Structure 1
Amino acid sequence: ALIRAVAVLIVTCPCALGLAVPAVQIVASARLFRRGVLVKSGAALERLAEIDHVIFDKTGVLTEGRPSLIETSATIIAMAAPLARASNHPMSRTVARTAGDGPVAAEVVEHPGLGVEGLIDGRRARLGRAAFVGAPTLRSVETELWFGFDDGPK
């Protein structure tokens, strides 16, 4: 039935590719997702054809998709958790999972590529890259996640 419906739409549509491309992108993305690969957009899926080499980092984030926390304290995890619970970023999800259930920050705004900010008990807080939080940028081989209130990073 689905094949017939698609066939009718393609025949009656003046621009068959206008229907075919999104349908193929959805099916391909779903198949990749079942195999553990998350495609961010249709454009990213189309750009896969241009890839000659794939380089994975040594932390395993690209291969496992489950970041882990190292060199942190339970106090900092508890302080950052309200912001982390409000975000869907894999790093935030790791912090939220480690901290467990609890309150969620208010007025949360995600800044793609930088981090997330919001109010925790009335204080403005940020979770993300060092520069976004206001911490000195270090040259580390590990992915770093910083947390801080407006009065200073942690």
Structure 2
Amino acid sequence: MIPCRPEHIVYLAKKMREDERAQFIALSGLDEFSEDVAARWFIDAAFQSGVFAVTILQNDNLPAAAGGFHPAGTGVLQAWMLGTTEGWSEQWRSLTKVTRWMIDRIFEGDVHRVQTSAITSRELAIEWFERSLGFKPEGVWRHYGIRGEDVAHFSRLRGE
């Protein structure tokens, strides 16, 4: 785990997993995926996340994934992450451990809620949120995405 840098995000935006690309399109309103737009959005999210934005490296020292938590309201942080297929298959345990560790540190401060969301077709991501990170489902916004994708929402509260 190292601090997230813009060059990590540019690399990851070029190699982003297909399900993450589909989610970015659904929620950004773009007609097609743009590496440049995605990189700018995630660089901004990393900047807003401050110390709560990190990169996990693969064994070859290339970025496997980057993620963080940016403000979504008073005492509320929105989780974000992007990664490569190879990175997830190689570093999924590290990604899970680091994410849980960061959430625990976040709750030591003034944050009372961490939230995230996923298009419902991202079944493995949803399983990871619930089973590995302890997020609770909060419902689905039907036809929220640009092409009618349903978006599931999850949260974890301090003390859970």
Whether the TM-score (by the shorter chain) exceeds 0.5 is no
Larger Cα-atom Rg: 1
With normalisation by structure 1, the TM-score equals: 0.29
Q: With a CA cutoff of 8 Å and minimum separation of 6, indicate the structure with the bigger relative contact order.
A: 2
Considering fraction of residues, name the structure with more strand.
Answer: 2
With normalisation by structure 2, the TM-score equals: 0.29
